[in-house]
Amino acid sequence: MKTESLWFIFLNASLINNFVLAYFLGICPFLGVSGKLSTAFRMGMAVIFVMLISSMAAYGIHAFLIWVDAPFLQLISYIVVIASTVQLVEMFIKRFSPSLFKALGIFLPLITTNCAILGLALFQTNKGYNFIESFVFALGAGIGFTLALVLMAGLREKLDFAEIPLIAKGVALTLLVGGILSLTFMGFAGLGG
């Protein structure tokens, strides 16, 4: 009995239940890498990429674990496989695009161990998505993540040139903007339902 169309899975992951603004996944990069638009965008792309990879990896492992009947290894295998895959990607980037590596700084290792990535793997398993659905889910989540990050970056770049009161400078301001963005995304509720 199928209730969720692919289109809906996509909308849900990207807008209605945006990973960052509704599920609170990947807040650290959301706060950390959203200062500059260009970095945010590249980070977003990296996240989409990693999400797709880990979604597929997680799908495979899940099948494997079902096969060997060891569901209790789910978490540890997900994280290990995802982490190593991403570490490979990281080494790759470091080798072939030092500038990208520099821009993302300490956050590349953090993508490895980012809530959004693992959360994606766990959610898709919980929701029992098949391969295609998982793929669409990962794509939606990644795009939603990028959207949140990029919107935030635009606003923060604008706020770099604002007379922010001393008390609100820093993370507090970013959180407040995040809160308002999250309020804004509530408008998408029920879409496609």
Residue ranges in contact with ligand FES by CB under 6 A: 26-28, 114-115
Residue 12 binds another protein, judged by CB under 8 A:
yes
From ligand FES, another protein, none, interface partner of 92 (C-beta below 5 to 8 A by class): another protein
Residue 8 binds another protein, judged by CB under 8 A:
yes
Query: Counting beta carbons within 10 angstroms of the beta carbon of residue 159, is it exposed (0 to 12), middle (13 to 18) or buried (19 or more)?
Result: middle
Query: Counting beta carbons within 10 angstroms of the beta carbon of residue 25, is it exposed (0 to 12), middle (13 to 18) or buried (19 or more)?
Result: buried
- C-alpha span between 111 and 51 (Å, rounded): 10
- Please identify which residue in 117, 138, 139, 143 interacts with another protein, judged by CB under 8 A: 117
Site track 72-101 with another protein (rule: CB under 8 A), x = hit: xx-xxx-xxx-xx--xx--xx-xx--x---
Query: Which regions of the chain does DSSP assign to beta strands (E)?
Result: none
Site for another protein in 141-180 (CB under 8 A): 150-151, 154-155, 157-173, 175-180
